Structures are given as C-alpha cells and as structure tokens.
Amino acid sequence: MAGAWETVIGLETHVQLRTVSKMFCGCSAAFGAPPNSNVCPVCLGLPGALPVPNEQALKLAVRAALGLGCTVHPRSVFARKNYFYPDLPKGYQISQFEQPLATAGSLSYLSPDRGVATATIQRLHVEEDAGKSLHDRFPKQTAIDLNRCGVPLIEVVTGPDFRSPHEARTYLLTLKQVLEYAGISDCDMEKGSLRVDANVSVRRAGETTLGTKTEVKNINSFAYVEKALTVERDRQIAVLEGGGTVAQQTMLYDSKTNSVRPQRSKEESHDYRYFPDPDLPPLVLTEEFIAEQQTLLPELPAKKRERFVEKYALSVTDAAVLTADRAVADYYEAVVHAGAEAKTAANWVMTEVLEDAKDHADGLRVAPGALANLIGLVRGGTLSHQAAKRVFAEVAERGGEPRNVAEALGVVQVADTGVLAGWVSEVLGTHTTEVTRYKQGETRLLQFFVGQVMKASRGKADPKLAQRVLEEKLAS
Ligand code: ADP
Ligand code: ZN
Ligand code: MG
C-alpha cells in the first residue's frame, strides 16, 4: 500500500544554545534549577523591563548558521509572535519572522534509501524559549515553571526534502552531530534541548505538487521521530485511500500508545500578529563578527570523515564511526600521533575503546599514549592480540603502563628460544605418535604442535617462534 504513495517530510527543529545566561536577560539558563528560581522582570515580562540580546547566544547562532552553509544576513529583525499560553507571561515570544538571521543553507546526510542526500535549510532564526507547564507535579493541577522562559533558541527549518521517516531521523542525527561538534548545543532530546516539529504529507507516486500536510508535535526522542512520522504517514494514506481528505492540523504524538491525535486546527502565521519588537533595534552584525565566528568553527564531521579516509587510508564506514563523536575522533588521532599504525589504531578504537566507553560514563579511560604503546607491544611480538585485550581491560580499570601491567598479569610472550625449547621437548615427548606421522609426511600436524606448545606455555609462547623451534626439532 505504501508503495503507491510518496512521503514528504519537512522538519522544524528548535535547539537550545549552550549559554550561561538567557537570551535577553542575565538569568541563568541552566537546566534543572528549582522551579521559578531563574527569573527576573525581563523574562517574566514585568512592565518597563527591557530586553538586551545575549552576545554569546548570537555568536553560537551565527556559528550554527555558518556550519549549515547558510547565508548570514548582516541585518535581521526581532519580531513579537503574539499568543496566549500560561507558560508565556509576556503574551508574546521574541522571535524572528520576515527577516531571519540566516537563510539558504544545506546539510548532507547519509540517507538509508538514497545514499548521500542533501536537505535544504530554508531558514535559521534566533528566538527565546517559553516556560514549561508541569502536569505531573501536583495531582489534578497544572504548575508553571518559568525558568525556561527566555532561554536562547535557534530554529532550523528544512525544505520538504525527506522521503521517509527514517530519512528524517537520519537528518536529525546528522544535525545533532554538527551542532554538538561546534559546541552550539548538547542536543539532548530527553532534556528538551532539541525539539522537533515534523511536517508530513503524502502524495501519489509521480505527483509533483505537495499534498496537504499535518504537523506532528510532542516527539521527545530520536526513535520517536521515526515512529511518530510512520504512524501519521500511515494514517494519512488510510484517509486518502478511504476517499477522504487530510485536514491541515497539528497532531500530538503519544509515545505510550504509539498513536497520534489531533490537537487543534493549524494556526496561520497571520494569527500571531507578528510585528517588529519595538524594544529591540534591528540586529546588525558586522562582517568581522561573522568572519570571526567562521574561524571559531571546528572541523565539522563530514570534513573530518573525508580527511580520515584520505589521511589514514580508512574505509568511509570506519571513518564515519570514528568521527561520529568529536571526542572519539580526537582520541583516535592522538593514538595515531603517539605512533600507532592508523588502521590498527582504528580497529582498536572501534572495538575495545568504544565498547569500554559504552559501559563507563567516565569515557575514554585508556590514555591515547598507553593504547599506542599497547599496540606497539603486539606489533613487536611481546603480546598476543588476545593478551593485549586483557591488558587493555586492566589498564582501563586500574591504570598503569601496558608493559608493566602485561608483566604483572604474566601474559608477556616468551620469545626466549631456550625456554621455548623446553616446552617443545615436552610436547614432542608426550605426542610420539603424531611425531611419527609428521615425519612420514603429515606436515599439517605442525599447527597441532604449535597449539600444544601454546597450551603448555599457558598462552605465553610467541607462536611464530614456537613454530620455528618446532620445525627445527622435527627436522632433526
Ligand atoms: P507553515 O506555513 O505551516 O509554517 P511552512 O511553509 O512555513 O509551513 O513550512 C513549515 C515546514 O513544513 C517546513 O519544514 C516545510 O519544509 C514543511 N512543509 C511545507 N509544506 C509541506 C508539505 N506539503 N509536506 C510536508 N512538509 C511540508
Ligand atoms: Zn530573566
Ligand atoms: Mg512557517
């Protein structure tokens, strides 16, 4: 059924900027403070209080815009978006409307269906957050927490560019990656520092005009983005196939029942009576200011991925894993700079290091230099790969130099031919039948003898050397 229909999705993403204070006042923007403790006349909208834009927020917003390839406009305008809601004491939200901070950007992401795809960023504007209604704090009552009032946000609006719920989710994860890399936001959906409104419509395959869309809200995890859009897409298809029409409205997603229900008919922008905020002059940014933000942007994930492929001869998939998180990418490069071979280091980071990091909040526990040393011990034949993994776990848990730890664990490979010769004689002495068969030409038994030597040495024998000593003894 879904095959005959094409899904069209556009996302509007609100992201809290990582600032100490709010957008237009000096109140703390910290998450989790006691309700209504971070408020002042400005963010409460008391008469006579005047807003002053937060410069750090503007810097982060401009960096976000540049990171998304937008044109940043030297002049933009703060506008009042008027509506009533209990969590909005001023009766309006300061936002940007006709003249946003930035327009016409793009973000490439790896579509699960189409390979590298590019989402257009129609606009990116600055605004302030509203407060929060708390429905679960008191039985049968709703409480209001205004701490979030005035927290700086950017809104990033894409074109109707996604063709599946999975694509929309992939874009969103890519957006999060870019914004995290650039230190713009922690993009934590569970904490509400990244929130997404998902617009979706369907049309017959091959149709070029857009169908009527609905806007799905109340999506609070990355997984729910995909689920909510799938449910709504399927609902629209069912309506259309039943001969009905899709009403343009706002839908609320309920993750408990994995269903959507209409919230209200969609308001139009003219309902908000937008007008330029008389308390705020147009936002004028100098060329120097914008250029400086560009220089403060770090290397972004896509660039870093390309560079890793190029410089370290890694596959695109490996490079993508290593660059998914900036801290991991930096760690990997530090291991290589400390002398480890690039591909071996990549394998270690993608397996042992990331597995260890998954189980431990304290992050990357083995210092890059120590991992490089450990890799060197394997390369030099001092440790088997198996033993090195044990040493890694031990260093992660208790610290120490890999060489010392390996000795303390008794896993250093014995490369002393004298000692090896002892184990070899022992093995040949107890397996006389196999020795005879070997001498009669069954040379593949060599691996059996190597295995026995490894066993006799409890894994400590250097297998290559053991093989050589065995060959010599068997030849005589
Ligand atoms: P509105 O006037 O309802 O705010 P906009 O044109 O501003 O609509 O678009 C809001 C978001 O909805 C954008 O992300 C846009 O790409 C997306 N969008 C617009 N039309 C459609 C459609 N027919 N189907 C899916 N998404 C759409
Ligand atoms: Zn305040
Ligand atoms: Mg709009």
Tokens standing for residue 204:
């017959």
Output the pLDDT for position 130.
96
- Mutating to test ligand 1, I would choose from 199, 265, 268, 274 the residue with most ligand atoms within 8 A of its C-beta, which is 199
Q: Give the whole-number percent of the chain exceeding pLDDT 70.
A: 99
159 lines ligand 1 (CB under 6 A): yes
pLDDT band per the 50, 70, 90 thresholds, residue 269: confident
Q: How far is the CA of 399 from the centre of ligand 2 (A)?
A: 46
Q: Does the structure show a pLDDT above 60 at 2? A: no
Q: How far is the CA of 282 from the centre of ligand 1 (A)?
A: 27
Q: What ranges do the domains of the chain cover?
A: 2-291, 299-409, 417-475
42 touches 237 (CB < 8 A): no
Residues in Cβ contact with 268 at an 8 Å cutoff, skipping those fewer than 6 apart: none
Q: Does the structure show a pLDDT above 80 at 222? A: yes
376 lines ligand 1 (CB under 6 A): no
Class of domain 417-475: mainly alpha
DSSP H helices, 116-212, are 165-181
Q: Which of 246-250, 367-371, 418-422, 449-453 has the weakest average pLDDT? A: 418-422
195 touches 187 (CB < 8 A): no
Output the pLDDT for position 266.
65
Q: Does the structure show a pLDDT above 90 at 8? A: yes
pLDDT digits (tens, 9 = 90+) for 49-63: 999 999 999 999 999
Q: Does the structure show a pLDDT above 90 at 336? A: yes
Q: Give the whole-number percent of the chain exceeding pLDDT 90.
A: 74
271 lines ligand 1 (CB under 6 A): no
Span between the terminal Cα atoms of the chain, in Å: 76
Phi and psi for 246 in degrees, rounded to 5? -80, 130
What is the pLDDT of the chain when averaged over all its residues?
A: 92
Output the pLDDT for position 416.
75
Q: Does the structure show a pLDDT above 60 at 21? A: yes
Average pLDDT over residues 239-245: 93
Atom 11 of ligand 1, nearest CA residue: 10
Residues in Cβ contact with 239 at an 8 Å cutoff, skipping those fewer than 6 apart: 245, 246
pLDDT digits (tens, 9 = 90+) for 150-186: 999 999 999 999 999 999 999 999 999 999 999 999 9
The four Cα atoms 57, 331, 356, 318 give a dihedral, to 10 degrees, of 100
Average pLDDT over residues 270-285: 93
Measured between alpha carbons, how far is 134 from 373 in angstroms, rounded to an integer?
53
Output the pLDDT for position 3.
60
Interior/surface letters 82-98, b for 16+ CB within 10 angstroms, e for the rest: eeeeebbbbebbbbbbe
7 lines ligand 1 (CB under 6 A): no
Q: Does the structure show a pLDDT above 60 at 1? A: no
